[in-house]
Amino acid sequence: MITEENSLITCKDCNEVVFSASQGKIIDQLVIKSINSQINLFIKMIIQREKCEQKEIAEHIGVSPEYLSEIKSGRKTPKFQTFNFLKTLALDGNSFKISSPNFKDWKTA
């Protein structure tokens, strides 16, 4: 169990410092960098598999092409839902077709 006291995170059982607030900021930056890297990979995977453009991906996930571009470039951090939708579209081959606004036939999915 850990508790937070005076900008330090310490172990409740042994009182050992796990990391300081400044280290927490570094971890936050690394997490954001990892998210951006994964988003770029997801978009690349979708484009290659579906032979589509980035604006079509934006349409599928319900965001503007400009917003998706800002997410991809790291200027914006996506909502958790947007990240998960991109992940699903990238990793599940049928999800792109099924999520299309024009999808009509469940039998061929």
The DSSP secondary-structure symbol of 10 reads E
The CATH code of the domain that includes 91 is 1.10.260
pLDDT in single tens digits along all 109 residues of the chain:
444 445 667 777 887 877 766 777 777 788 888 999 999 999 999 999 999 999 999 998 999 999 999 999 989 989 999 999 999 999 988 777 766 656 555 455 4
User: Would residue 8 count as lying in a domain?
Assistant: no
Containing structural domain, residue 55: 21-108
In a domain, 42, yes or no: yes
Give the count of domains, the chain. Answer: 1
6 within a domain of the structure (yes/no): no
Are 12 and 4 spatial neighbours (Cβ–Cβ below 8 Å)? no
Count of CB atoms situated within 10 Å of the CB of 30: 10
> b vs e for 51-76, b when ≥16 Cβ sit within 10 Å of the residue's Cβ?
eeeeeebbbbbebeeebbbebbeeee
Cα–Cα distance between 66 and 58 in angstroms, integer? 9
